[in-house]
Amino acid sequence: MSHTPQEIRKMETRKKLLDAGITLFSANGYYKTNSKEIAKLAGVSIGSFYSYFEDKKILLKEILNYYIDQTMSLEENQDEKSQIKEMDYDLFVRNMILRHEFSEGFFQQVTLLANTDEEIEKIYSDYRSRLLKQIDTMLIQHRDDLSESEISAISIILYSATEGAIHKIKFHRENVEEEILIQQLIHLFKHYMIKTT
């Protein structure tokens, strides 16, 4: 599908505003950033900003939804069962870590907002649900000996361990070698995914 030059310009402007929002929210914080500053950094007028976004919160929500859709779409757009059945644990774990390629400042701001704002919390909650569903599907494919309750419990454990490892790797800069942490996380997935006889 081809786009007209005007449509392309609109997409480019929207992308500039999204990028400017991420940069300023990361550097200055959500509450200390205003729409005028975002428009200025994006190189557009404030009127142009408001033609795309009602306010900075709408911009933030779009940033989060765009990020989540981009990182989740590869797996969800393919046949879920066959794709996950063929996926090795190493690739799955590394893909989950790659999903968190954004600045430490932006992550901190969004985490804070998720604890104080219902709309942002819902976006986070939906994202967690989608990840848990992927882990559920992997377990169902590999562990026909588990009950539904056991699958749910193991999914929570694997998700929590992954989230903790990602935070250590990306944001807390602990004195643990990244590759060792990843390998141990892969080992944990294998422990739960491989049925023992």
Domain coordinates of the chain in residue numbers?
1-53, 61-193
Instruction: Give 115-172 pLDDT, tens digit per residue.
Output: 999 999 999 899 889 889 989 988 998 889 999 999 999 999 999 998 888 888 777 6
CATH topology of domain 61-193: Tetracycline Repressor; domain 2 (1.10.357)
Instruction: Give 49-63 pLDDT, tens digit per residue.
Output: 999 999 999 999 999
Rounded-to-integer distance, Cα 16 and Cα 40, Å: 10
Rounded-to-integer distance, Cα 52 and Cα 55, Å: 9
User: Residue 32 is encoded by which pair of tokens?
Assistant: 């200390």
User: Residue 170 is encoded by which pair of tokens?
Assistant: 């990306």
Mean pLDDT in residue range 178-187: 90
- pTM summary value: 0.74
User: Given 3.30.1180.20, 1.10.10.60, 3.40.50.720, 1.10.10.10, which CATH number is that of 1-53?
Assistant: 1.10.10.60
Which pLDDT band, with edges at 50, 70 and 90, does 197 fall under?
A: low
Q: Are 157 and 192 in contact (CB under 8 A)?
A: yes
Rounded-to-integer distance, Cα 51 and Cα 29, Å: 23
